Amino acid sequence: MELDAYRQMAATEDEHWWFCGRRAIAEAVIRSIDLPGKARIVEIGAGTGGNIRMLEQFGAVTAVEMSDLARRIAWEKTGRDFLAGYLPDNIP
């Protein structure tokens, strides 16, 4: 992804209809599968961290992102460390 796309994502993912709608669908799907209270969740391609708060209500989240810039922005936004990695060959 272009570096400017990560900056734009970070600036809009909390309010833009696309990100909000996608997050709402993901939340509905997760609720429908009735995860155990201490579920371990991994988000591969976590971007700049827009889904972390939603995912954390279901368990402990490990976030993986290939972009150094996206991981840095995510840390600035969430205070959480994201692991460096990508599919299919570089999952920590």
Assigned domain for 67 exists = yes
Please, which residues have CB within 8 angstroms of residue 58's CB and are 6 or more apart in sequence? 30, 35, 39, 41
**Domain assignment of residue 76, given as a range:** 3-84
Is residue 91 one of the residues assigned to a domain? Answer: no
Q: How many domains does the chain have?
A: 1
* CATH number for the domain harbouring residue 69: 3.40.50.150
Mean pLDDT per block of 10 residues along the chain (92 residues) reads: 84 93 97 90 95 95 96 94 90 81
Classify residue 51: in a domain, yes or no.
yes
46 domain residue, yes or no: yes
Q: What is the pTM of this model?
A: 0.86
Distance between CA atoms of residues 17 and 24, nearest Å: 10
